Structure 1
């Protein structure tokens, strides 16, 4: 990165593509059902469960359990801390892209 400029740090916890996809999906909704998240991310129940648990430990998501009829369901929502983490992570990615484009336009050749 460009020396002397301060850029927001990438969030190591959101750097993994599955975690990032899940949090990004949640950022556009109030909450989402477990199966919807699983299908959106294209992952197994086990991987979805582990991903949600990891994000819950970080307080990035809130998990709500309940029933629809007699069937148990799990809903996940993004917390304010999770939203802030996502926004900071995206700002860091944008800063990296901007710095690279600026450096590339400043006389760099491929």
Structure 2
């Protein structure tokens, strides 16, 4: 069976793939850091974050640093499991096509 069917469509976007990769190795990351590291606009990043949040893959934490709002994101257990499965499917695809 071709492992391509095991890929998660949510992670097909390079931006969502980047967000998940960053959240896998960091406890949380704030909006501005994500935007800077991924080199995307506010609106573009926000729409991808909304997709990840609505699928239960990330959690949004809103707070303040002094008087400035600070929004951070972290990966959920569901998100971690889904992303690891996606990575495993990518590895299986590479092995399948050798």
Q: TM-score, normalised by structure 1?
A: 0.84
Query: Could you say which residue in structure 2 is the equivalent of 1:95?
Result: 92
User: The residue matched to 2:64 in structure 1 has which SS?
Assistant: strand
RMSD value over aligned CA atoms? 1.5
Query: Could you say which residue in structure 1 is the equivalent of 2:45?
Result: 48
User: The residue matched to 1:14 in structure 2 has which SS?
Assistant: helix
Query: Could you say which residue in structure 1 is the equivalent of 2:67?
Result: 70
Moved beyond 4 Å, runs of 4+: 5-8
Q: TM-score, normalised by structure 2?
A: 0.94
1:49 CA displacement? 0.8
1:8 CA displacement? 6.9
CA distance in 1, matches of 2:92, 2:72: 33
Contiguous gaps of at least 5 residues in structure 2: none
Larger radius of gyration: 1
CA distance in 1, matches of 2:76, 2:3: 26
Higher-helix-fraction structure: 2
Contiguous gaps of at least 5 residues in structure 1: 102-110
Count of residue pairs the alignment pairs up: 98
CA distance in 2, matches of 1:93, 1:43: 25
